[in-house]
């Protein structure tokens, strides 16, 4: 994990060897500690150089280790030994020095960077802070304002900027390691004290408070509801106001709060989900690592509307020559000017020259005969698209790949009109295509693995986050959007206002609520689609009930809004009013209020007060429910793929992880129960029917029997002070802590201890010991909590990051709960979780009906589980979460994601496009109900072994 060599007779060269990014895993930390000890004690060694193998210095702490207990030496003492040593240590930075890797360099006495290297502290993007002294050392080195900016944004800086800021001592175009070796020899004998960053005094600006206040306002505006940037500011304040050792203590305390937060779990999940999405797999067994993409040097784009123009720019700026085709001279000229303008602005922003020479504009498809790939981006009309594909089939050489940018039409139907259906796939960009990072690559049943590999690799080359999806109406993203939008308009009918619904969604974390977003995108697009599909307009049979289509509930309010010429921001009126067309400042419009009131009285609808909880549940649970359907249909391989689509294509708040992750955090039983509840209230809305209903009768019976029993017991405990019923929305806030075992359990029961979370923790021994009411005579004292939906979900989501698990016998393995290793027993009048003795290992129930090829991470799951089992020793118990200062405020978050999906460019309008568990370990504090004291543990073990 680190190589030790003596070079130039007197320099110890320590090379980190942990591919791919030389992350500081436990063996690496161990190896650094040993190597430093060796170097410092060897009299031949006069200086030390630390570098990373394969041209990468270090990508920071090993994020995968966050899920388990700390093993090996903690990082800080290892790094402190470097700084404290009496021999100069030089960091040779090639590739990247990020997070803990950057902090390692800050503990060295000197830093040399290769000119292409990038440095940064991206911890904030993972929901944590630089916790190996980064928040205390960087301000001492470069001052508060610059450090604050780097730490709160996570921005990577170039070697040149690092030199300017005073972070590195030298930048070289040569090999950084060679340069560092020379540098180290020259440093021998020079005093080391001034080089120890911990001894420096932070340059403290006179207006420190104002500066920190401004930074706080800025992050609250940019990433509302997100905890980590605020904690970073507090840590930097400590660097300015406290001695180093106290500041380090403060940093570590802030880290402890963040580390266990649900936001950190969600953000770290997003990091891995994004990388998992690139590992596509097809039902045929073809996948990312056994299919070779073709190289694409030339491409054509047909249609120079908003989408087509963005696609041309995306291709040209990565060096692909593009032929752009339009049908009319005027449209072509207009498109040419806009594309050139966009490319020039883009190049100026990036400080490069615009690749205009790669562009060709034409009116003739005949010019496309030699291109490697075509992307059709004409109007969303199947007949038109078919004509284009027939023509392309005739014109293009036989090997040309033909792709369509349709946002939901049948890709296989298009493949069917060509002479090469295996070379046809969907490439669904999101508008504006040169800004939005998401690309859905649609695999038709006849698409070859080479075609998919090529489309995915082209997406990556263009800097997109590409996700392979199946061919069904709307694919994944837009298919899920429909039930979400439907719920929003149904809520309007029932009594809500656009402002109220938007506010609830924005408080949840969306940058924009559904109606504000629709106004931005333009309401006419959806109206036209509804007219074309016969849902509204003259084609609707007048005898058809106005609020029903094909037996399902239909809300005509969006059509009525469009009939009044209200198309959103561009017309100055939509769900809101604007001062003038194009204005973005949405104001509530009394005319919409009137429209809603008239509508309700016309149809005899008695408006009711609708809570924010109902808005969130109906809009978001229905989204996840459709996600489950998509998984069941095999249209997405993994829940991570769905979440990535929503994070990058639909601005789902990143600190919530995505709709599927969010559902898992709320607790799937809770989601199921609420969907059942809403479906009963609205039986004519099929999307509200929980997907588990489609499950086999036997399993359903099993689930509901057990659930009923558990619910009955839970309800009978309702008066207990340590067992409170769920108080609405706070369940979500609480669950986003992601660490309360007891909550999770209660979720199964339809009850929740939310409020407990906000109270100071009480010692186990001091909690009242209320006896559990006697069980009905026909009940056993054991509740089996096997729940098919949860089990299913966890089986298909083995990559979901398990939450942190500090080493402690009190930590409980939820995964095992789901696979029936746990049972709830009443012991000494208390309900306790008890691990079942390992007597039988029944085969898990039937796996979900998704394509088997999509279940590739099965192996990883087994490995995860093994790790978990190895690390959790002794009886495992539940917990109550400790109060968290700001997590609950997360639920009042405003604003969307702020990481990769958020690019600087935003010149155009936003999207108009139209196995068991991973081994979750949930940490705990003391709690009587489910965390028996040690003596009770012994009793339990006793009981278990004597039963």
Ligand X SMILES: C[C@H](O)[C@H](C)C(=O)SCCNC(=O)CCNC(=O)[C@H](O)C(C)(C)COP(=O)([O-])OP(=O)([O-])OC[C@H]1O[C@@H](n2cnc3c(N)ncnc32)[C@H](O)[C@@H]1OP(=O)([O-])[O-]
Binding residues for ligand X, rule: CB under 6 A, are: 20-21, 23, 59-64, 75, 96, 98-100, 103, 122-123, 126, 128, 130-132, 134, 272, 275
Helix boundaries (H) for 603-638: 612-616, 622-632
Q: What are phi and psi of 441, to 5 degrees?
A: -100, 115
Query: How many Å from the N-terminal Cα to the C-terminal Cα in the chain?
Result: 48
Using the minimum distance from each CB to ligand X, give the nearer residue, 21 or 409: 21
Counts of helices then strands in the chain (DSSP H, E): 35, 24
Residue 811 and residue 921 in contact, taking contact as beta carbons nearer than 8 Å: yes
Toward ligand X, which CB reaches closer, 122 or 558? 122
Closest CA to 232 of 127, 126, 129, 121: 129
Which residues make beta-bridge pairs with 713?
none
Q: In the complex with ligand X, which residue's Cβ is closer, 131 or 435? A: 131
- Please state the closest distance from residue 898 (CB atom) to ligand X, in A: 14
Alpha-carbon distance 388 to 418, whole Å?
10
Helices (DSSP H) in 522-566: which residue ranges?
524-532, 557-563
Taking alpha carbons only, the member of 660, 636, 641 closest to residue 851 is 636
Residue 65 or residue 941: which is nearer to ligand X going by CB? Answer: 65
Q: Which residues contact 448 (CB under 8 A, 6 or more apart)?
A: 422, 423
Q: Are 692 and 788 in contact (CB under 8 A)?
A: yes
Helix (H, G, I), strand (E, B), or coil: what is residue 764? Answer: helix
Minimum distance from CB of 427 to ligand X (Å)? Answer: 21
Range 209-244 burial, b when 16+ CB lie within 10 A, else e? eebbeebbebbbeebbbbbbbbbbbbbbbbbbeeeb
Min CB(124)–ligand X separation in Å: 9
Q: Which residues contact 76 (CB under 8 A, 6 or more apart)?
A: 132, 133, 248
Q: Which of 177, 75, 288 is nearest to 854 (CA)?
A: 288
Phi-psi map region of 650: left, alpha, beta (phi>0 left; psi -120 to 50 alpha): alpha
DSSP 332-381: HHHHHHHHHHHHHHHHHHHTS---GGGEEEES-GGGGTT-SEEEE---S-
871 upstream amide cis, omega within 30 of 0: no
Residue 879 has phi, psi (to 5 degrees) of -160, 165
Number of other residues whose CB lies within 10 A of the CB of residue 677: 15
Distance from the Cα of residue 10 to its chain's centroid: 48
Of the candidates 772, 774, 727, the residue with the CA atom closest to the CA atom of residue 754: 727
> Residues with catalytic annotation?
103, 123
| Cα dihedral sign, 70-75-76-81 | positive
852 vs 10: CA distance, rounded Å: 58
Tell me the sheet residues that pair with 824: 783, 833
Q: Find out whether 915 and 815 touch, Cβ atoms under 8 Å.
A: no
Contact 280, 468 (CB under 8 A): yes
CA-closest candidate to residue 464, choices 301, 649, 630, 592? 649
SS3 118: strand
Indicate the burial class of 96 (C-beta count within 10 angstroms; 0-12, 13-18, 19 or more): buried
* SS3 of residue 898 by DSSP: coil
Nearest to 274 by CA among 460, 146, 97: 460
Is there a contact between 162 and 141 (Cβ–Cβ < 8 Å)? no
For the four alpha carbons of 63, 64, 67 and 70, in that order, the dihedral sign comes to negative
């Amino acid at each position: 994990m680190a190589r030790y060599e003596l070079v130039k007779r007197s320099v110890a060269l320590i090379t980190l060897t942990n591919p791919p990014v030389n992350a500081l895993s436990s063996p690496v930390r161990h190896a650094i500690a040993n190597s430093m000890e060796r170097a410092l004690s060897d009299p031949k060694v006069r200086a030390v150089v630390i570098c990373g193998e394969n041209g990468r210095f270090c990508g920071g702490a090993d994020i995968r280790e966050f899920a388990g207990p700390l093993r090996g030496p903690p990082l800080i003492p290892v790094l402190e030994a470097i700084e404290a040593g009496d021999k100069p240590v030089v960091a040779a930075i090639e590739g990247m020095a990020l997070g803990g890797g950057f902090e390692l360099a800050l503990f060295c006495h000197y830093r040399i960077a290769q000119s292409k290297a990038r440095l940064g502290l991206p911890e904030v993007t993972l929901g944590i802070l630089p916790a190996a002294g980064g928040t205390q050392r960087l301000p001492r080195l470069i001052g508060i304002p610059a450090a604050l900016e780097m730490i709160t944004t996570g921005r990577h800086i170039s070697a040149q900027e690092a030199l300017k800021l005073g972070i590195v001592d030298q930048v070289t175009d040569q090999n950084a390691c060679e340069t560092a070796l020379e540098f180290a020899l020259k440093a021998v004998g020079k005093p080391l004290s001034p080089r120890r960053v911990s001894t420096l005094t932070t340059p403290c600006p006179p207006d420190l408070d104002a500066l920190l206040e401004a930074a706080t306002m800025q992050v609250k505006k940019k990433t509302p509801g997100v905890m980590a940037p605020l904690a970073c500011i507090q840590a930097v304040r400590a660097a300015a106001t406290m001695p180093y050792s106290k500041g380090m203590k403060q940093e570590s305390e802030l880290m402890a709060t963040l580390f266990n937060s649900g936001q950190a779990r969600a953000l770290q999940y997003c990091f891995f989900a994004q990388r998992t999405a690139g590992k596509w797999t097809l039902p045929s067994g073809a996948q990312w690592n056994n299919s070779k993409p073709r190289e694409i040097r030339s491409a054509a784009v047909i249609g120079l509307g908003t989408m087509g123009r963005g696609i041309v720019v995306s291709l040209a700026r990565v060096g692909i020559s593009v032929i752009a085709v339009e049908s009319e001279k005027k449209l072509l000229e207009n498109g040419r000017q806009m594309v050139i303008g966009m490319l020039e602005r883009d190049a100026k922003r990036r400080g490069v020259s615009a690749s205009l020479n790669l562009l060709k504009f034409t009116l003739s498809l005949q010019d496309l005969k030699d291109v490697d790939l075509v992307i059709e981006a004409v109007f969303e009309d199947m007949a038109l698209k078919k004509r284009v594909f027939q023509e392309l089939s005739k014109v293009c050489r036989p090997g040309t790949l033909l792709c369509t940018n349709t946002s939901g039409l049948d890709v296989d139907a298009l493949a069917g009109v060509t002479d090469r259906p295996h070379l046809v796939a969907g490439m669904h960009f999101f508008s504006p295509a040169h800004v939005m990072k998401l690309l859905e690559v649609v695999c038709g049943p006849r698409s070859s693995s080479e075609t998919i590999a090529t489309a995915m690799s082209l997406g990556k080359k263009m800097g997109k986050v590409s996700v392979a999806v199946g061919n069904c109406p709307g694919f994944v993203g837009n298919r899920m959007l429909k039930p979400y939008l439907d719920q929003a308009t149904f809520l309007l009918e029932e009594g809500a206002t656009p402002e109220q619904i938007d506010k609830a969604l924005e408080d949840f974390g969306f940058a924009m609520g559904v109606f504000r977003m629709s106004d931005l995108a333009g309401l006419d697009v959806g109206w036209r689609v509804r007219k074309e599909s016969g849902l509204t307009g003259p084609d609707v049979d007048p005898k058809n009930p106005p609020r029903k289509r094909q037996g399902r509930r239909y809300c005509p309010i969006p059509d009525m809004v469009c009939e009044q010429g209200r198309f959103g921001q561009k017309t100055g009126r939509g769900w809101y009013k604007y001062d003038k067309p194009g204005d973005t400042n949405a104001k509530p419009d009394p005319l919409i209020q009137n429209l809603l009131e008239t509508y309700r009285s016309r149809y005899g609808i008695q408006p009711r007060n609708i809570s924010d909880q109902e808005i969130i549940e109906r809009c978001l649970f229905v989204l996840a429910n459709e996600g489950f359907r998509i998984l069941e249909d095999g249209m997405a391989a993994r829940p991570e793929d769905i979440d990535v689509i929503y994070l990058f294509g639909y601005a789902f708040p990143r600190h919530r992880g995505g709709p599927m992750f969010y559902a898992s955090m709320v607790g799937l039983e809770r989601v199921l129960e609420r969907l059942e509840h809403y479906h009963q209230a609205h039986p004519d809305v099929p999307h509200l029917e929980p997907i588990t209903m489609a499950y086999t009768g036997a399993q359903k019976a099993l689930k509901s029997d057990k659930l009923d029993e558990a619910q009955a017991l839970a309800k009978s405990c309702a008066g207990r002070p340590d067992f409170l019923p769920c108080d609405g929305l706070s369940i979500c806030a609480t669950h986003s802590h992601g660490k309360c075992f007891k909550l999770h359990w209660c979720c199964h029961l339809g009850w929740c201890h939310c409020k407990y979370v906000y109270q100071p923790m009480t010692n186990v021994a001091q909690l009242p010991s209320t006896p559990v009411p006697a069980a009905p005579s026909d009940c056993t004292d054991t509740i089996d909590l096997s729940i098919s939906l949860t089990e299913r979900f966890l089986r298909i989501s083995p990559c979901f990051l398990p939450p942190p698990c500090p080493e402690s016998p009190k930590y409980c393995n939820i995964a095992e709960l789901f696979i029936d290793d746990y049972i709830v027993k009443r012991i000494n009048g208390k309900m306790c979780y008890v691990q079942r003795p390992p007597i039988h290992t029944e085969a898990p129930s039937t796996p979900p009906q998704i394509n088997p090829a999509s279940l590739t991470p099965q192996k990883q799951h087994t490995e995860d589980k093994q790790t978990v089992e190895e690390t959790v020793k002794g009886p495992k118990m539940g917990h109550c979460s400790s109060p968290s200062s700001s997590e609950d405020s997360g639920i009042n978050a405003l604003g969307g994601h702020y990481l990769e999906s958020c690019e600087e460019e935003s010149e155009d309008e936003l999207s108009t496009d139209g196995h068991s568990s991973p081994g979750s370990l949930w940490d705990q504090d003391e709690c009587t109900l489910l965390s028996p004291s040690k003596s009770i543990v012994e009793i339990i073990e006793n009981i278990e072994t004597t039963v």
